[in-house]
Amino acid sequence: MALRDIITLPDKRLRLVSDPVKSVDAAVRALVSDMFETMYDAPGVGLAAIQVGIPKRIVTIDTAKKDEPKRPQILINPAVVWSSDEKAAYEEGCLSIPEYYEEVERPARVKVKAIDLDGKPVELDADGLLATVLQHEIDHTNGVLFIDYISKLKRDRVIKKFTKAAKRTDD
């Protein structure tokens, strides 16, 4: 297990559409292990492989609160196959857009299909925080960020702020 660097805005890799995982092998298992270690260290409730610079459709999630036992979930090649018409708003943040939070409205309930680390099919029916996290992380695999759901004015401000910060660190 190893901590990996989380790429941040304005890194163009965050806009890549990730490739499906063809087979769950030792490399995928090692990546998943590293992703969990990185996610817990950050700390975060979800991480997509692209956030550590790997354009594969892999997502790690754990929505357990600090005082609860961990509930790690791994989804490989996840896809939302159904979403409710009913909406719910949550304040979202992202490890790739550190210390920025904004309320985002998404479907309140979703059904997600994926495979697990054994290559077996998984189906999740989710609502509440888990539904939001699933949609947020699956969006990452499609090159979509949560700031894409906020007003253009707010989105432009955030991108400008992170672009300026990146230029300062490059100098």
**Cα–Cα dist 58/138, whole Å:** 9
E strands, 84-171, are 87-94, 97-107, 109-115, 121-127
68 is an active site residue = no
DSSP, collapsed to helix, strand or coil, labels residue 134 as helix
Which of 37, 68, 99, 137 is catalytic? The answer is 137
Q: CA 105: distance to chain centroid? A: 16
Closest listed residue to residue 60, CA positions, set 82, 76, 83, 81? 76
Closest listed residue to residue 118, CA positions, set 55, 80, 79, 76? 76
The DSSP secondary-structure symbol of 12 reads G
Question: Contact 6/42 with Cβ under 8 angstroms?
Answer: yes
Closest listed residue to residue 112, CA positions, set 89, 79, 141? 79
Active site positions, annotated:
137
